[in-house]
Structure 1
Amino acid sequence: MAADGSSRRVDTGEVVSVLRRMLAENGRDYLGYYALAVLCLVAFAVTTAFTAYIMRDIVDQLFAERRKDLILLICGAVVVAFGVRGLASYGQAVLLAKIGNNLVARYQRRIFDQLMRLGVGFYTSTRSGQLAARINENVTGIRDILSMTLTAIARDAVSLIALVGVMVYQDPVLSVIALVIGPPILVSVNYLMRRLRRATREAVEVNSRLIGAMQEATQGITIVKAFTMEQLLSDKISSLIDSAEARANRIARISERMTPITEFLAGFAVAGVIGYAGYRAAVAQVPPGAVISFITALLLAYEPAKRLARVQANLERALVNARMIYEILDIEPQQGDRPGAGEISVDKGDVVFRDVEFAYAEGPPVLRGVSFRAEAGKTTAIVGSSGAGKSTLIALLQRFYDPTGGAIEIDGQNIGAVTKRSLRGAIAYVSQQPYLFEGSIRDNIRYGRPDATDVEVEEAARLAQATDFIALQPQGWDTLVGENGVTLSGGQRQRLSIARAILRDAPILLLDEATSALDNESEAKVQQALDTVMKGRTTLVIAHRLSTVVNADHIVVLEQGRLIEEGTHRSLLVKPGGAYARFHFMQDRTGEVVEVAAPKSSRRKSGGTR
């Protein structure tokens, strides 16, 4: 996300631009609420000014002239004014809170929907912990901009104008003395705001890194403990905390610097007013009512004037947060559906890779002209050394990325020309790393097909050999799995992941080393279940263990992004010097996983010996 504007000061045009966009997106929905809030804020401002105005009559009429007939009238007016002021303050606070909370909820939904539209490539370059932290911290900026702008205009500005009007009405000369501090305050505000923008954005970035690092450390606590990383991570977090603290202190120093400036200038103004008024009262015998009313208005005007002086500092912080939210919302998905893309129609499930090439971003090619066919209703195994491009093929088939060359077809349909939703609806996927979501065991299986009945969910679990351990859970099917299934073993999580794929009942099944997290006994049970599920489905399997590979109808061997061999287990096994043959014979006596060796030609080039 661009930070090129981080050092630029906020200006009126930028605030107006963000406000215009926010009002265009949300204004109509909150028009009635805003109208009521403005009415309350204006009533608050008017009653505040009336409190200062009536001080003249209180001093002159009640105390100087002793008008008994006006006591009840003036007292009643004061009670009514304070009552209206209290109700108006309550009303505007509740209304603005309601609007603000709804705005936060609305933008949280928009952000999440946008994140769901973005492709997998976005997440490979963005740390999830920092992303979550930024969203949590930035989304309130939308609410704060609207609330601060409304209160600044409808309450503070109106209050200040009304109180200045009272001051001018009571004594124009004193008003000039009091208002002479305005220009110095404006100059000071503009100077400080130029320094606040960079500090605010840096603070947001550091805080997101801090929260993200904390989240990642707690999620990976077993690795932290296993590798005795506690002190290392504590030092790292401590450094981030120090950095966040330093930036927070800098923001406080900059934004709070307005307080001594305004207090110092206000002191001069009040002293000047008191000195001039005192001189007139002593020399010219001017009645004190107008002066008391003026000083009351001046003192009441001080708070809204101070808030208005600080509103730019507050807008600065809110604007940084709002702009960072819009930076996410404005990201164009790089892998959208083509115009006019239709629904895919999968009849047989025949999958064909035609000269497929692919590279991540600006990196080197991962796949180089890969072509093969996964026949409908049969199992195709993909084997190869780490980094050969096996998982990339599976990712391309699901359109997590689009090929940089060539095409992938299902039943003769180019998958790039159909909607991603319909394509993925025809595919069931079991990843190497099983992932479970917040909720119960039943909920996690049902994600495979949300409209499935409990009977279908339980049948899928039975086929995945998961019912035995589910029955032992404290609440059975309703047991909460914890964060990413932390309460379950790796093998149990994988079996629930397999059950989810079984429940999807899709014509194409993708297994990315689906049994890698299971022990031998569990693997045998799950493999038996998978054998049943795979019948009649086009299945692509990434696996190293021969228990999966030997029974495949077709085997594809990849090396450094190229297809170097393909055939059946038997045909590849007898191929002289073949990579698959070495893969088979390098399995040790216990059947542990051994990756495909590099082809003999590449080993010789690198200086290796057979």
Structure 2
Amino acid sequence: MTPNPAGRTPDSPLGWGAFRRFLPYLWPADQPALRRRVVIALVLVLVSKGVQISMGFLYGGAIDRMQPGAGTDAAGAAATLAMALVIAYAGARLGGVVFDNVRNTVFERVGQDATRHLAEHVFSHLHRLSLRFHLSRRTGAVTKVIERGTKSIDTMLYFLLFNIAPTIVELLAVTIIFWTRFGPGLVAATLTMVVAYILFTRKVTDWRNKLREEMNELDTATVARSVDSLLNYETVKYFGAEGREAAYYARVARRYADAAVKSENSLALLNIGQSLITNAMLGGAMAWSVYGWSRGWFSVGDVVLVNTLLAQLFRPLDLLGMVYRTIRQGLIDMEAMFALIDTPPEVVDAPQAPPLAIAEARVKFDSVRFAYDPDRPILKGVSFLIPPGKTLAIVGPSGAGKSTIARLLFRFYDVSGGSIQIDGQDIARVTQASLRAAIGIVPQDTVLFNDTIGYNIGYGREGATQAEIEAAARAARIHDFIMALPDGYQSMVGERGLKLSGGEKQRVAIARTLLKDPPILILDEATSALDSRTEAEIQRTLREVSARRTTVIIAHRLSTIVDADEIIVLDQGRVAERGTHGQLLAMGGLYAEMWARQASEREMEEA
């Protein structure tokens, strides 16, 4: 279910466009059972409100029957009737509670399903967005937007359907009753009070909403900073920056606290003003009805009826400030969430795009140009061909565009010019899912899910059996290590795999890639962060993994790619040199300089 994600319309200044966009989730065309629940819940709202309004008549009637002045027999009959009305009044009170709770029970499934479907839609959309989007946003801030947006939906639904709508129904009913039984004067006074109450509440709440928006921004900043700080726990420790982080957090938290105090002070003003309006109206109405009783216009029961109906009407109105504020805030939160949905994916499949058909896994870059920023081109007409089953190594200075090539091959970005082809098929014209299914990668920095080792290896292929996971682990030479752990394959790796060493994480990444069994393999500086001994062990495993696969090696240490079938040297976004290791050394160019420099560094380390 993917309702139309149109943007906010100009005619929705309060953000009601966001709520209209949510309605298809609340009234799903493909789920008649949920629609029936919505209808039943609305009917129960009307029934409950009708029962509650009848309470005033029952209570007033009982009071009238209890008036003195009748004979013994008449008094007995009146007492019986009064008792019956009191019992009916009690039954009506109970009925109102029962109907309200049945309504909540019936509607709960609707609200939860609607919220769940929308959350799933947002989550799926975030995964369709480009790498550029995710690199430019703080993860904590994005998750906070989703959390607030989904939570606001449930609250808004409750207040709109079960507070505002019943209050409107009750106001109409009270208006009709007052007009027919007490005349237009009481109606005019009641409506004047309600209008004054609403205008005052809206004015003050609009002011309070500005404070709430400031609180939201500070709350988001606080959460994002705390998440970022905790994710970089080790870096904080390295630089002894605990005090610095705590001070930064305290500054933001202090600003949030100041805004919260202002918000609470404004709430006190709102409550006092509302109470002044409602009590003035209630006192005036009661004084007028008592005056009518003294003149013989109304019975005592009528006085009680006026008091009961106004008290019932004021009860939801007392919550109007909170309701209005909650709805306004909910609309703001929903708009922020829908803004994520409105963010267009940078990379999309072409209409009717076919899946990638792998025949030989031949990879070709043809005059590829690319820039993250239009003013800073990264690749300037890069061309190369990797024959099936061969290995191409890419080297060059930092910032030359080596890792960009891997991202472009995965189509995390679209090229600015030229084309990338696999077996003659432009990757921009095939589905992203089929393209990425054909490519595996062992990255420089392996980030693992905060789950078990078995889960992280099995992530390489959905539905893999335990035997297949263990076979991949054996091939990556990590099975024995896993079995030595107390919980074996059920051992937790910690957030981002921090419980494992660099070499262990790399072997998990290799096992995961082996399980995926892709025809094309990318090794993105897969051993650059490891010590020499671990690097040598991982390199042996990687050579076995890359055998008979079309392989791209992005390397910093040239000693790891001397056996590559071809090496290209990138410099300032262009292919400066290409050839085998021996040919490049013989050229005496940039590659030879890099080799000599690294050889000298190795000699110094050994010395």
TM-score, normalised via structure 2 length: 0.90
Cα pair 2:453 2:493 within 8 Å, conserved: yes
Cα pair 1:357 1:367 within 8 Å, conserved: yes
- Name the structure 1 match of 2:4: none
**Structure 1 position 196, deviation (Å):** 4.7
Structure 1, unmatched stretches of 5+, are 595-610
Superposition pairs for residues 289-438 of structure 1, below 5 Å?
A: 289-308=301-320, 310-438=322-450
CA distance in 2, matches of 1:269, 1:534: 83
Which deviations, in whole Å up to 9, do the C-alpha atoms of 1:375-424 show, x marking residues without a partner? 22111111111111000011111101111111111122211111111111
**Structure 1 position 206, deviation (Å):** 2.5
CA distance in 1, matches of 2:119, 2:314: 37
Which deviations, in whole Å up to 9, do the C-alpha atoms of 1:498-553 show, x marking residues without a partner? 11111111111000011123322222222111111211111110112233211111
Distance 1:225 1:297, change over 3 A: same
**Partner AA of 1:45 in structure 2:** K
Secondary structure in 1 matching 2:373: coil
Secondary structure in 2 matching 1:506: coil
Distance 1:315 1:285, change over 3 A: closer
**Structure 1 position 592, deviation (Å):** 8.8
Secondary structure in 2 matching 1:54: helix
CA distance in 2, matches of 1:454, 1:506: 19
**Structure 1 position 80, deviation (Å):** 2.2
Which deviations, in whole Å up to 9, do the C-alpha atoms of 1:576-602 show, x marking residues without a partner? 3x11111111125673999xxxxxxxx
**Partner AA of 1:139 in structure 2:** T
Decide which of 524, 531, 536 is 2:548's aligned counterpart: 536
**Partner AA of 1:471 in structure 2:** M
**Structure 1 position 73, deviation (Å):** 2.1
Superposition pairs for residues 257-276 of structure 1, below 5 Å?
A: 257-276=269-288
**Partner AA of 1:582 in structure 2:** E
- Name the structure 1 match of 2:21: 21
CA distance in 2, matches of 1:150, 1:465: 60
Secondary structure in 1 matching 2:602: coil
- Name the structure 2 match of 1:583: 594
- Name the structure 2 match of 1:439: 451
Cα pair 2:290 2:303 within 8 Å, conserved: no
The total of aligned residue pairs comes to 587
Cα pair 2:141 2:221 within 8 Å, conserved: yes
Cα pair 1:132 1:212 within 8 Å, conserved: no
Distance 1:156 1:19, change over 3 A: same
Cα pair 1:550 1:569 within 8 Å, conserved: yes
CA distance in 2, matches of 1:212, 1:331: 20
Distance 1:227 1:5, change over 3 A: farther
CA distance in 2, matches of 1:508, 1:285: 93
**Structure 1 position 558, deviation (Å):** 0.9
**Structure 1 position 323, deviation (Å):** 1.1
Cα pair 1:157 1:304 within 8 Å, conserved: no
CA distance in 2, matches of 1:470, 1:51: 70
CA distance in 2, matches of 1:61, 1:216: 71
- Name the structure 2 match of 1:561: 573
- Name the structure 2 match of 1:104: 115
**Partner AA of 2:48 in structure 1:** F
**Structure 1 position 554, deviation (Å):** 0.8
- Name the structure 2 match of 1:40: 44
Distance 1:363 1:455, change over 3 A: farther
Q: 1:134 aligned to 2:145?
A: yes
Cα pair 1:53 1:166 within 8 Å, conserved: no
Q: 1:155 aligned to 2:166?
A: yes
* Greater shift in the superposed pair: 387-396 or 581-590: 581-590
**Partner AA of 1:34 in structure 2:** V
**Structure 1 position 280, deviation (Å):** 4.1
CA distance in 1, matches of 2:241, 2:89: 67
- Name the structure 1 match of 2:3: none
What RMSD, in angstroms, separates the aligned Cα atoms of the two structures? 2.6
Secondary structure in 1 matching 2:450: coil
Q: 1:455 aligned to 2:459?
A: no
- Name the structure 1 match of 2:60: 56
**Partner AA of 1:434 in structure 2:** T
* Greater shift in the superposed pair: 167-176 or 467-476: 167-176
Q: 1:118 aligned to 2:133?
A: no
- Name the structure 2 match of 1:187: 199
Cα pair 1:381 1:556 within 8 Å, conserved: yes
CA distance in 2, matches of 1:285, 1:202: 55
**Structure 1 position 312, deviation (Å):** 2.8
TM-score, normalised via structure 1 length: 0.90
CA distance in 2, matches of 1:473, 1:149: 54
Q: 1:84 aligned to 2:95?
A: yes
Structure 2, unmatched stretches of 5+, are 1-6
- Name the structure 2 match of 1:603: none
**Structure 1 position 284, deviation (Å):** 5.1
Superposition pairs for residues 598-609 of structure 1, below 5 Å?
A: none
Secondary structure in 1 matching 2:351: coil
Distance 1:517 1:278, change over 3 A: same
CA distance in 2, matches of 1:451, 1:88: 47
- Name the structure 2 match of 1:527: 539
**Partner AA of 1:339 in structure 2:** P
Which deviations, in whole Å up to 9, do the C-alpha atoms of 1:59-91 show, x marking residues without a partner? 111244541231442133123212211211211
Which deviations, in whole Å up to 9, do the C-alpha atoms of 1:108-155 show, x marking residues without a partner? 211111111112121122111211121112222233333222113442
Cα pair 1:444 1:496 within 8 Å, conserved: yes
Distance 1:52 1:285, change over 3 A: closer
